[in-house]
Structure 1
């Protein structure tokens, strides 16, 4: 894991973990994994799952994931033309 990923994860994790100070770190990570509907072993949980879940944890259920929202087009024709490089 790169240093910037560690910093990003800690910045996102810290305020959320403070809301539940009775949980130790592993318990809190298990809770996050359950919330994210992760079904694998805890040791296989990736930083991406944690980062995206923490970013979206307190958002509206209908809100789009930030990384996807920037590339979203309202209509199909514009999306195709942009993908083919015809429009910018």
Structure 2
């Protein structure tokens, strides 16, 4: 894991975990995995799942996922034409 990802994960994890002081770290990570709908064993939980879940936790279910908003298009036709290179940025 790169250092910036570790720092990002810790900065997101700390305030969320402080709201659940009765849980140890493994219990808290399992809770995050369950909330995110992660069904594999806990040892397969990735930092990406944790980061995106912690970023999106408590937000509207229809809110855009961070990092994907830059690629968002309002309509399918524009998205298709941009993907094929017909429309340039």
TM-score in terms of structure 2 length: 0.91
Unpaired stretches in structure 1, ≥5 consecutive residues: none
1:5 aligns with 2:5: yes
State the number of aligned residues: 88
Deviation at 1:38, TM superposition (A): 0.9
What's the C-alpha RMSD, in Å, of the aligned pairs? 1.1
Aligned partner of 1:58 in structure 2 is 58
Map Cα deviations across residues 11-45 of structure 1 (whole Å, 9 max, x no partner): 11011011111111111001001101111111111
TM-score in terms of structure 1 length: 0.92
1:36 aligns with 2:30: no
Aligned partner of 1:75 in structure 2 is 75
